[in-house]
Amino acid sequence: MAFNKFNVFHWHIVDDQSFPYQSIYFPELSDKGAYSCNLIYTPADVRLVIEYARLRGIRVIPEFDTPGHTQSWGKGQKDLLTPCYNGGQPTGSFGPVNPILNTTYDFMTKFFKEISSVFPDAYIHLGGDEVDFSCWKSNPEVKEFMKKQGFGSDYAKLESYYIQNILDIVSSYNKGQIIWQEVFDHKAQLKPDTVVQVWMANSYAHELSSVTGAGFPAVLAAPWYLDYISYGQDWKKYYRVEPLDFPGSEEQKKLLIGGEACLWGEFVDATNLTPRLWPRASAVGERLWSSRNVTDLQDAYRRLRNHRCRMLRRGIAAEPVFVGYCAHEGRRP
Amino acid sequence: MTLENEPPWGTPCTQLLVYVAMPGCDGFPNLDSKESYKLIVSKGSMLLSAEAIWGVLRGLETFSQLVGRDENGTYYINETEIVDFPRFPHRGLLLDTSRHYLPLRAILETLDVMAYNKFNVFHWHIVDDPSFPYESSTFPELSKKGAFNAMTHVYTASDVRAVIDYARLRGIRVIPEFDTPGHTLSWGPGAPGLLTPCYVVQEPSGTYGPINPILNSTYEFVTSLFQEVSSVFPDFFLHLGGDEVDFTCWRSNPKIQAFMKEMDFGDDYKKLESLYIQRLLEIVSSLGKGYIVWQEVFDNDVVVRPDTIIHVWKENLLTPYKEEMANVTRAGYHALLSAPWYLNRISYGQDWMEAYRVEPLDFRGSPEQKALVIGGEACMWGEYVDVTNLTPRLWPRAGAVAERLWSNSTVRNMDDAYARLSEFRCTLLGRGVQAQPLYVGYCENEFGEV
């Protein structure tokens, strides 16, 4: 990242499948939620990452994505997730974080107190994407709550109710918040400096207009999902993106504070991470650093190839851009 | 500690008895090699028997995958009786060392993992347009002028011998491909006069096209080169390429235009291509080798020997591969399938499933036709692949192709295949192979752990 002048490491540290973050207040979360007891990040590991990043001028912004994407949280924290129902009976499976219980917010208050002190950056990413309402809809207590709150059958309102509480909790620890675009789209009440991360590929320029039009800073990720691999020189399509190409005023454009290349992990681990990331992510790195008029593809191609060979020399297994070779590879004596 | 929870360990086994009907293991594997084996694990004895040493190799690999280890470190194996043999005799993997040079250790490691997957043919697409890394003893200038770097990006004679022997010890045949007349730009610098000079409005443009088919010197060169290749590579078969010949340069060249008129070929440059290929095939034949060619050679009506193997690789709306398989086998030729197995064509998601679902004999034809399909090859073309991403891109995806070519056609349950392939991927990790994940999850022994 530092070789490419990236300056933010967005650590999507936990999700449905596993909870590798070893929490000090809630050790059961990783005890029960990690894939295995040695596939965890201890507090020392986390400190190491933060310091290693700091020395390279890289901010570490952790993401603890709720209320969806939390299956693994339920293993170590009883009653955190919503029990799903079928025909009046609990099915045994669980949905998103349960937004109607006080215990949920007690837990989150304590949990985010820890996160706020462990991670020194001014911002925490709170997720808020892809919340599946079906489990909430099936739960009688949740349905009761919806009625009491006057939300009708609009579960986006329940989602916003939940998120707003979390945002308040995190605010009270003097941390700024970044959230995925759904939180904004579903009209939750956001603090003025809340950063909205635009990730949905469909009409993302339009979304950027809406977000900045409403006065919120935006971070663009939508066209830079590097996990979506395809055959050929796909770095070009990442390079061609012009983040400010959306309808809006000067003030709006100033609110586009940058972007992120995303490498989601469904099909990625240590065996293929490096070649999949580099040099493709370098195209994003240049687009976010360089001036708007640095767009010549042929020139970029030449420099990207050089840069790839440079990374190879530095021991980074960056994959090839196209046919050819680097001077410092080939047979060893 | 409660004894009723102890697994029912039998008597400890300390040796695997191996019996081979045909003694000797000095030879090279070939298309007719017998790879069947029988493995019996019972109380107090483990026996592996096979007709030939090649079956022993396959059986040993299976045996190695049956051995587990419990949490106390004890190795164990279940009682079992296995009778196994491959469905197709030609189960290959293509590597391209021209688009990117692959260091020797990358090739050797690939051969190891091929053996774990019971692949038995290494199709070495060794030279092509971008570079000529093969050090020829007859024509040293070819790699001197044609390699990316003549010192660091070449395969010496000893490298080639090392590959052939390493493969042999794993029951893998090495079939080299010297693709002509197209795909030969890198041959030009080291063999002046070999390639066709292209013309632009009656003047040589300075660029070159395919091998020049109208010069005697061409056929002298080809004879000498293939004489060398025939002696360096012991397998009976050579792959002669013959794909994607671009006629534009030939068309532009006035001498070739004159030749076309002389031969009464009209404007049909396929006839010129056929003329070259036919002579090449005759040369190679007279050197005592059989040949495999890409499908264009068949499509363009070149006269080929009856035992020619046609390699089917194209897949598009105009030429669906199943139709080609039908056409090739109807004409009486043997067929090799690669079209649905271009592993270099990556895409998002579990694409191994598509590769696995392929049924090589799913085309319209008689049983006699289907018997002409000798197998297939997974291809890892090198435009975007070198040592930095070769292994994760190859494995475990190529394993899907390997099973499709070894196992019975009825073995196609996806859930079962997923369970076995993901476990096999963890086994590969344990063997130090940088195989990428199939989907979310984890292995006991993650890659890169101390």
Q: Using a CB-CB distance cutoff of 8 angstroms, which residues of chain A are in contact with residue B344?
A: 231
Q: How does pLDDT run across A97-155, given as a tens digit for each residue?
A: 999 999 999 999 999 999 999 999 999 999 999 999 999 999 999 999 999 999 999 99
Q: How does pLDDT run across B89-134, given as a tens digit for each residue?
A: 999 999 999 999 999 999 999 999 999 999 999 999 999 999 999 9
Mutate to test the interface with A, among B156, B384, B393, B397 (most CBs of A within 10 A): B384
What is the per-residue pLDDT for B5? 56
Q: How does pLDDT run across A276-302, given as a tens digit for each residue?
A: 999 999 999 999 999 999 999 999 999
DSSP designation for B377:
E
Q: How does pLDDT run across B343-396, given as a tens digit for each residue?
A: 999 999 999 999 999 999 999 999 999 999 999 999 999 999 999 999 999 999
- Helices A102-118 and A155-172, axial angle in degrees (round to 10): 40
3-state secondary structure chain A: CHHHCCCEEEEECCCCCCCCECCCCCCHHHHHHCCCCCCCECHHHHHHHHHHHHCCCCEEEEECCCCCCCCCHHHHCCCCEEEEEECCEEEEEEEEECCCCHHHHHHHHHHHHHHHHHCCCCEEECCCCCCCCHHHHHCHHHHHHHHHHCCCCCHHHHHHHHHHHHHHHHHHCCCEEEEEHHHHHCCCCCCCCCEEEECCCCCHHHHHHHHHHCCCCEEECHHHECCCCECCCCHHHHHCCCCCCCCCCHHHHHCEEEECCECCCCCCCCCCHHHHHCCHHHHHHHHHHCCCCCCCHHHHHHHHHHHHHHHHHCCCCCCCCCCCCCCCCCCCC
Contact: A267, B349; criterion CB under 8 Å? yes
Determine whether A159 is an active site residue: no
State yes or no: pLDDT of B4 exceeds 80.
no
What is B16-84's CATH number?
Answer: 3.30.379.10
Contact: A330, B152; criterion CB under 8 Å? yes
Phi, psi of A11 (to 5 degrees): -95, 100
Q: Using a CB-CB distance cutoff of 8 angstroms, which residues of chain A are in contact with residue B430?
A: none
The fold of B90-431 is TIM Barrel (3.20.20)
State yes or no: pLDDT of A332 exceeds 80.
no
Residue B278 Cα, gap to closest chain A Cα (Å): 31
Query: Chain A residues contacting B, CB < 8 Å?
Result: 17-18, 35-36, 39, 227-233, 265-272, 274-276, 312, 317-320, 322-325, 327, 329-332
Contact: A275, B382; criterion CB under 8 Å? no
Report the candidate in B33, B26, B30, B25 with the shortest Cα–Cα distance to residue B236. Answer: B30
Q: How does pLDDT run across B25-36, given as a tens digit for each residue?
A: 889 999 999 999
What is the per-residue pLDDT for B446? 83
What is the per-residue pLDDT for B204? 95
Residue A287 Cα, gap to closest chain B Cα (Å): 23
Query: Chain B residues contacting A, CB < 8 Å?
Result: 99-101, 103-104, 130-131, 148-149, 152-154, 344-350, 382-389, 391-393, 429, 434-442, 444, 446-448
Percent of chain B exceeding pLDDT 90 equals: 90
Whether this model's ipTM surpasses 0.85 comes out as yes
Q: Which of B81, B244, B359, B368 is catalytic?
A: B244
State yes or no: pLDDT of B15 exceeds 70.
yes
Q: How does pLDDT run across A83-94, given as a tens digit for each residue?
A: 999 989 999 999
The correct answer on CATH 2.40.10.10 for the domain covering A2-193 is no
Domain ranges of chain A: 2-193
Contact: A39, B442; criterion CB under 8 Å? yes
What is the per-residue pLDDT for B449? 67
Q: Please, what is the average pLDDT of chain B?
A: 95
Cis peptide before A67 (omega within 30 of 0): yes
Q: Which of A28, A51, A130, A251 is catalytic?
A: A130
Which residues are CB-neighbours of B192 under 8 A, at least 6 positions away? none
Q: Which residue among B152, B349, B447 places its CB closest to the CB of A271?
A: B447
Q: How does pLDDT run across B308-355, given as a tens digit for each residue?
A: 999 999 998 888 999 999 999 999 999 999 999 999 999 999 999 999
Considering only alpha carbons, which residue of chain B is nearest residue A325? B100
